[in-house]
Structure 1
Amino acid sequence: MASIVKRGKSYRAQVSLYKHGEHKKVSKTFPTKKEANLWALEMELAKGEGKELAHRTTTFADFFENWIYVVKIKDVKETTFQNYTRALGVIRTLFQDIQLKDLNDIVVQGKIDKYAETHSRKTTHEVLLKIRTALRDAYARGYISNDFSGLLKTRGENPPKRNKALSITAFKKLRNHALQHPEEEFNLLVLLGLETGMRRGELLGIRPEHLYEYGIQVRYSISPTSDDTSLKTPNAKRDVSINKEVYELLRKVPVKDNGYIFNFGGFKQSELLAELLKELDIEKTTFHGLRDTHASFLFAQDIDIAYVSKRLGHVNIQTTQNYYLELMPEKKHQQDADALNLLSSL
């Protein structure tokens, strides 16, 4: 049975546990007797339902670490697991010594909101998803009394998109420069990014045996944080066609000692691209922005969206629509004119 003891101006509630031949106790102090009784009742009910109350004094950070190294390490790819280990650092900073027994939606939401003050909404959401999954696991194992993970929300603002699609004019200018200066290996990498929409890791993962007339078999992806060369998703395994001119230039690139066609270059492709775009007086984007540019250009030319989605290696068309298809300025002006002409003809 639970006991309530008055200690000065506060009340200490204590619940006795018996498990595996050992007696243990969990306790908590409250400002009022009513709160102490309510907590004691909740603990007794949870104990009766078989909840593992002895684990409630474990810190959330320690639980999360144990959870990812025992459970998640077997469920996800190595590159994905690296994201969990980075999230562990965030959770240790945010939650510090807060124990499982002290967690509720108000406490956790406060920590998430604090993180959102200095991070984008997308980054915050990725951390929240991992916290939610860990909390559900803790509840399933009886370490917390209720599952409040569904009450947690992502807040904050998203900064302007960095992976911005280039205009058609800028696209042509950059492509022509790369074609005219193929002796610079990086220019050819940029050309392939524009020509294929392949991810950076997929481009770096091209080996001679992946070339066919005229196209590239996407089979590997090189990561700056892992030795895992597997592709992002099963749909990422695909064959991407290229024109003859680009194919012939690619065949001339000397194969490196590691068997790949391109140097990894310290994974500084976005920095190198920024320098190139500045030199050519082209609006700034990231290397991943070349993928957006490729997709948006095809979209602007009325290429079927199902083809674009398959070419990019997306799981479904919705992903393509949500993240990669933008109206390039020239296309938007054309659409505006067409819309006005239709209205004028009424």
Structure 2
Amino acid sequence: MASIYKRGKTWTANVSIIQNDKRIRKTKSGFPTKREAQTWSNDIEFKKQTKQLSTSNSLFVEEFKDWYTIFKEPQIQTATKLWYHTAINLLQDKWSDKKVNEITSKDFQLLLNEYGNHHVKSSVLKIKNLIGMFVVYAIDDDMIQKDFTRNVTTSSKVSSKDKSLKFLELSEMRKLINRIRDNDSISCKMILTSIYSGLRFSEVAALTKDDFDFQNNTITVNKSWQMQDKAFKETKTSTSNRVVIMPESYMSIAKKWTFGEDYAFQGKDGLPISNNGVNKQLKAYLDMDNSTPITFHGLRHTHASYLLSKDIAIQYVSERLGHADVNITLRVYAHLLDKKRDQETKETLSSLNEL
């Protein structure tokens, strides 16, 4: 007999079934209407009566690998594939003999706790989310009866890297520009391009000579460089495809550059310079002036921070950076905007006091 009840704003249904000679409850929640919950429970009852209900006892790691190979691998990029392989290696190491229908919340919590002893919290959360996506699939496919990931938490004994937003102050940015503007090295050209455009490293590395329009002073961004695959890929989001208007001061310098045949910033091996290679050069130049140590991505933050400090509308800054929406820009640069808000509050009160 099915049991259907409302939990919050959605409906939950559970059905009593026999599995491995034991009576258990197969439960599913999140139905928007009672009718949908009833339809699901009727389907389970029918499968139970006709002996179609799965009593899978296959290995968890093997089912996870099959799911990844069929549903995920064809659609994702190499960097994401590495995370799935990390999860598979973890499951093979810790759960090699566990059946797909016998995992409990306790098992999963212990797995994440142990993983968190040697990895930062963001990595633990990534593993949790990947396994969680598989569990949703496995429940829908009747391999698993209950979502054992629901009440599990993530923690870590390894400190994360400093996530504070690092960027160059105006004086530091000017020193860097003066040091590299006449330098003909590929790294310097890439650094200068990012300072003036706010492009991501993958976008700068993917530029070709045809992306530079010196008549209209623009750079077209319509692809990104995937270092792992050594190939062009789509940009991060559809809004990352954009035409960035560049200042004359930059374009007059870039006009003198000799670009590579396949890539604008092409190394001796015929490929774009690596992120690590450019970061080493950037560090060396920043050290010369005792400037704030930043990575190449910090140049993007420097670009945005400079524009915001000059009262450029955040909507325009968001479009220039290629963010999916302005809320991302607001979130990333919240502390800068808060600082500016404090300044504007003082100016507002000063103006009102003059009345």
What TM-score, normalized by structure 1, do the two folds share? 0.77
| Cα contact 1:208–1:260 (8 A) shared by 2 | yes
Q: CA deviation at 1:300?
A: 1.7
Report the RMSD for the aligned CA atoms in angstroms: 3.1
Identity over aligned residues, as a percent?
22
| Cα contact 1:253–1:261 (8 A) shared by 2 | no
In the alignment, which residue of structure 2 is the partner of 1:265?
A: 273
1:119-268 matches, within 5 Å, as 119-156=119-156, 158-161=160-163, 164-179=166-181, 181-212=182-213, 213-226=216-229, 227-263=231-267, 264-268=272-276
What TM-score, normalized by structure 2, do the two folds share? 0.75
In the alignment, which residue of structure 2 is the partner of 1:65?
A: 65
In the alignment, which residue of structure 2 is the partner of 1:34?
A: none
Match of 1:41 among 17, 23, 30: 23
In the alignment, which residue of structure 2 is the partner of 1:14?
A: none
| Cα contact 1:207–1:260 (8 A) shared by 2 | yes
Deviation string, structure 1 residues 136-179 (Cα, Å, up to 9, x no partner): 11111111112243333343464321662222332222223222
Match of 2:319 among 310, 318, 326: 310
Q: CA deviation at 1:233?
A: 1.4
Change (3 A) 1:166 1:258: same
In the alignment, which residue of structure 2 is the partner of 1:298?
A: 307
Deviation string, structure 1 residues 44-63 (Cα, Å, up to 9, x no partner): 99883854223x331x2222
How far apart, in 2, do the equivalents of 1:139 and 1:310 lie?
41
How far apart, in 2, do the equivalents of 1:90 and 1:305 lie?
43
2:183 maps to a residue whose letter is P
- Matched pairs, number: 306
Q: CA deviation at 1:221?
A: 0.9
Q: Which runs of 4+ in 1 moved over 4 A?
A: 43-47, 334-346
| Cα contact 2:26–2:145 (8 A) shared by 1 | no
SS in 2 for 1:146: coil
Deviation string, structure 1 residues 11-32 (Cα, Å, up to 9, x no partner): xxxxxx9xxxxxxxx86xxxxx
Change (3 A) 1:260 1:184: closer
1:176 maps to a residue whose letter is N
Change (3 A) 1:342 1:310: closer
In the alignment, does 2:342 pair up with 1:322? no
SS in 2 for 1:216: strand
| Cα contact 2:54–2:143 (8 A) shared by 1 | yes
How far apart, in 1, do the equivalents of 2:179 and 2:186 lie?
13
1:65-104 matches, within 5 Å, as 65-104=65-104
How far apart, in 2, do the equivalents of 1:133 and 1:44 lie?
19
Q: Gapped runs of 5+ residues in structure 2?
A: 1-17, 28-43
SS in 2 for 1:101: coil
Q: CA deviation at 1:206?
A: 0.6
| Cα contact 2:235–2:241 (8 A) shared by 1 | yes
In the alignment, which residue of structure 2 is the partner of 1:22?
A: none
SS in 2 for 1:309: helix
Q: CA deviation at 1:279?
A: 2.4
SS in 1 for 2:226: coil
